[in-house]
Chains A and B, each alone.
Chain A
Amino acid sequence: MSKLGNLGARLHRGEISYDFVGKRKIWYGISILITITAIVGLAVRGLNMGIEFQGGAVFTTPKTSATVAQAEQYAKQASGHDAVVQKLGTGALRVQIAGIDTGKSDAIKDTLAKDLNVSSEQINADLVGPSWGEQIANKAWEGLAIFMVLVVIYLAIAFEWRMAVAALVALIHDITITTGIYALVGFEVTPGTVIGLLTILGYSLYDTVVVFDSLKEQTKDITKQTRFTYSDIANRSINGTLVRSINTTVVALLPVAGLLFIGGGFLGAGTLNDISLSLFVGLAAGAYSSIFIATPLVADLKEREPQMKALRKRVLAKRAQSGAEGEPVPVGGAEAAFDDEAEDAAPAVVGPRGQSASRGRGRGRPSGKRR
């Protein structure tokens, strides 16, 4: 099997692990830095709203032989903005450009007329209102607010309030970064972008919940042992689900990356860029924040609980004691015992290496009975 498979096995056995919780301050710092950059970008450059939100100008040309793609090119050159071009049934073109006021529209009209080889009087210029009206936007905000409240309540019941808070922080983190990158890159914000953001909202929470589910499972009987602190177990839980996180992220990101880099970069599907960029950044941020932000944050919050503080004290005392005795604690054994309590898992006993096939049938038995 590939190296990654071995990695999975070694992560599973804990032979290798990365101390996500211990090094959380570094990652908090990085996230805060990115978030501040995003906020500054938002404040300084602002979002470049598309025609659907702010309205703009619409030019209706007479019947012309120019193709939609050509007209798009002309309109972009004339105005400096992305244009939406549609061919009408009469053979005429409808060109919509965002953020144009009456003054500018005359100049654009003349340029367009020249490019399209028609007289500028034949082009009809008019202002258009937003098709994505305030009402739609307000309703979307309202829906978002209700969803946030419900999801916090749900997470607080299904898990606990600390996890709900952490998930929410991770969510806000992802959304801020994505919008910030939008402001920095300067892509136009279209309804597609908004939908992309909403998708991320769903995905970010989804991913966080998967990680939290494993965390909850592993910390079920944490107070019954004195071997590990909450942070230790949180860390182990992240490492345990790391392979899953990597695989899921790769699988989710590949199609979007295809759209963004191959579609937008090589094939010139420019209009797909806006939506795939928001998805790409958001999915990556969502996967990152579940591991590097949300779980350490839960550990931080949990460690403040008196129970967990007491546990930490006991664990440290025990470690100090065993250290003083100069005899390393049989870590694995104790841990296995804890695991048995917590997960009702069978110990790892296997037939001889290489004979697994022939002895396979016997091996699974205890699991059957003990469930």
Chain B
Amino acid sequence: MSRPTAPTGVERPEREYEKVAAPKRGRSASAQSKPGRSLALILIAIVALTGGMFASGHTTPRLGIDLAGGTSITLTAVNQPGQPNAINKANMDTAVDIMNRRVNGLGVSETEVQTQGDRNIIVNIPRGTNSKEAQQQVGTTAKLYFRPVLQQEVSGAPGQSPSPGATSGGSSSPKPGAGPSTGSTPQAKGSSSATATPKATPTSQGRAVTDALKAGSTPSPSASTSPGAKPSATPSPSASSASAGLQARYAALDCTKPAEQAGAGKDAKPSEPTVACGQDGKVWSKFLLGPVAVDGQEVKKAQAAFDTQGASGWQVQMTFNSKGSSKFADITGQLAQKPSPQNEFAIVLDDQVVSHPYVQTAITGGNAEISGHFTQQEAQSLANMLSYGALPLTFKESSVTTVTAALGGEQLQAGLIAGAIGLALVVLYLVVYYRGLSLVAVASLSVSAILTYVIMALLGPTIHFALNLPAVCGAIVAIGITADSFIVYFERIRDEIREGRSLRPAVERAWPRARRTILVSDFVSFLAAAVLFIVTVGKVQGFAFTLGLTTLLDVVVVFLFTKPLMTLLARRKFFANGHKWSGLDPKSLGAKPPLRRTRRPAGPTAGPVDPKEA
């Protein structure tokens, strides 16, 4: 763009002529209508967003734990029966990872999770978060099982109906007929895995209980590999007594009592039948359940969805992995052939039955739904937990306390003062260098700052966005990137003026080029933000969000504010006449003086340029 010398004499008159003759009215007319509209648009947006901010009552952005402190929860891992050695470093680390992803589902809430000692996990939740909800989210084990229903009845009248129920259930469990059929299947399938072995059994009840018996009566875990042991185990008396004990528990269970609702199925081993409570609408029911058919670990993905066809409201849709899908197809295939209620399977989450759909045909696609009268939030948080897996350990809350900011208040204040001084210097620099134009720059920066602030404040309650120190720093760098857009544009305008144009055409001609530069370079920033936001977790994701937001706002502000404002100002005499203080004075910008005066000086000044460049 630099143009060291005057054009050749041959060309000049022609251009000069063109200049004079070229009509300009049409274009400026079309340009006139636009700037006002854009400015109005962005002003309306600002007013609307600010109004929204005040209406929502969240007038400050939610601050991260490093800036505002929050709540600190200590969770202690507790031993589970049957897994005495489960509390080890690997499991603790897995638990931290899972909790991290649960609470930072959207990645911007800035909750911190870390281990402390051998068996504690500290969860730091920023102030202003719904800490109850977060507590629940991190602490819930989210062990999900699909178990066939053996028996079910409405709770509330314990001890009356159990006898018929018990007989049917009891007879169905150790049913001798199941024994032979199970015995025959291993040969048919030739499978050696414990879960897969009895799959082909036409009666899942038989299979289920056989599995249970294996675990119960033959503690030596060789059962799965030795098919011969199974038929012998089936009629074993110890098994029937274990199941009788369960029958007694089932009979005694009263699911209307809150204590029993939670405690009924507690600590059930996956391989054994168990009892559990569940709620159907307002009514609590109790269940006698077979061993686990499909494990929640085999859920690949889960999401909350609103059931528009049925009346079940919010539900959680799950996709199994390949192993899970085949298991699920098997179990549903078996259940479909049975009478009610044994054609049902129960979805058991943390020892409670959340739903117990019945099966009509085998479901082979590997998809399942849980519907259990969820609210939207419940469904989403359940889906979130299922997606990120169950905790390998069970935790109990050992303390909940508030903590102050990790970054001391005085330090933060010092930082803010320093940042303000830096900003003042920026404004000073812009005024000195760009003079009148700095009005545009400072106004654009202010618009950008207001929009950033308001949007951050609004995102606090909506997506739990929390502003932490890294985000503040991202915003500070954003000052540079935003200012760069104006600087690129201003320099283009000045270049055009140096070419000898008057302000209005200079403003219009500079725009397309500056626009391209701004878009191309902002795209790179936005790409970085988008990739990091999608791929990463935790603080990095929070940062990526800030970067993406500020980059988008930069484009919006430049297109809808800076450019229209520039167009409008170009009509002002102060700027158009190139007042000394407008920053657009052609003389001080060194606009090309008329040819007749530069003929002589132009030669010498241009001369030295070329050798330097060569």
Contacts and interface: CB of A to CB of B under 8 A. Distances in A.
Contact of B411 (A205, A218, A268): A268
Interface in A107-126: 126
B470 interface: yes
A85 B594 CA distance: 69
Interface string A251-285: 11111111100111001111110011001000100
A347 B15 contact: yes
A13 B406 contact: no
Interface in A206-250: 206-207, 209-210, 213-214, 217-218, 228, 232, 235-236, 239-241, 243-244, 247-250
Nearest to A10: B590
Contacts of A300: none
A360 B587 contact: no
B98 to A, nearest CB: 10
Contacts of A228: 613
A350 B22 contact: no
Given A228-B613, A258-B419, A259-B415, A86 B404 contact: yes
B528 A205 contact: yes
A365 B589 contact: no
Given A195-B470, A198-B540, A213-B517, A336 B525 contact: no
Contacts of A134: 93
A361 to B, nearest CB: 6
Nearest to B580: A1
A283 B477 contact: yes
Contact of A4 (B92, B433, B547): B433
B477 A203 contact: yes
A281 B359 CA distance: 64
Interface string A341-371: 0010111111111101100111111111111
B176 interface: no
B572 interface: no
B473 A136 contact: no
Which of B418, B487, B544 has the most C-beta atoms of chain A within 10 angstroms of its own C-beta?
B418
B211 interface: no
Contacts, number: 471
B394 interface: no
Interface stretch (B325-333, B334-342, B602-610): B602-610
A14 B2 contact: yes
A239 B1 CA distance: 10
Which of A6, A142, A250 has the most C-beta atoms of chain B within 10 angstroms of its own C-beta?
A250
B537 interface: yes
Contacts of A298: none
B585 interface: yes
A270 B410 CA distance: 11
A18 to B, nearest CB: 8
B122 interface: yes
A331 B421 contact: no
A344 to B, nearest CB: 10
Given A243-B491, A368-B27, A87 B432 contact: no
B614 A232 contact: yes
Interface residues of A, number: 141
A330 B96 CA distance: 73
Interface in A38-52: none
A367 B487 contact: no
A299 to B, nearest CB: 12
Contact of B2 (A12, A89, A151, A360): A12
Interface string B186-220: 00000000000000000000000000000000000
A68 interface: yes
Contacts of A279: 473, 476-477
B380 interface: no
B269 to A, nearest CB: 30
A88 B591 contact: no
A180 interface: no
B39 interface: no
A94 interface: yes
Contacts of B543: 195, 198-199
Interface string A181-201: 000000000011011101101
Given A133-B100, A248-B483, A275 B502 contact: no
A360 B573 CA distance: 11
Contact of A349 (B418, B522, B595): B595
A315 B569 CA distance: 45
**Top 3 A-B residue pairs of the complex, sorted by shortest distance between their CB atoms:** A332-B5, A252-B480, A258-B422
6 contacts: A86-B69, A131-B113, A192-B470, A252-B479, A255-B426, A268-B410
Interface of A: 1-2, 4-6, 8-15, 17, 19, 55, 58, 68-69, 72, 84-90, 94, 126-136, 139-140, 142-144, 146-147, 150-151, 154-155, 158, 191-192, 194-196, 198-199, 201-203, 205-207, 209-210, 213-214, 217-218, 228, 232, 235-236, 239-241, 243-244, 247-259, 262-264, 267-272, 275-276, 279, 283, 319, 328-333, 335-337, 339, 343, 345-354, 356-357, 360-371
Given A267-B414, A268-B411, 4 more contacts: A254-B425, A255-B476, A336-B8, A343-B1
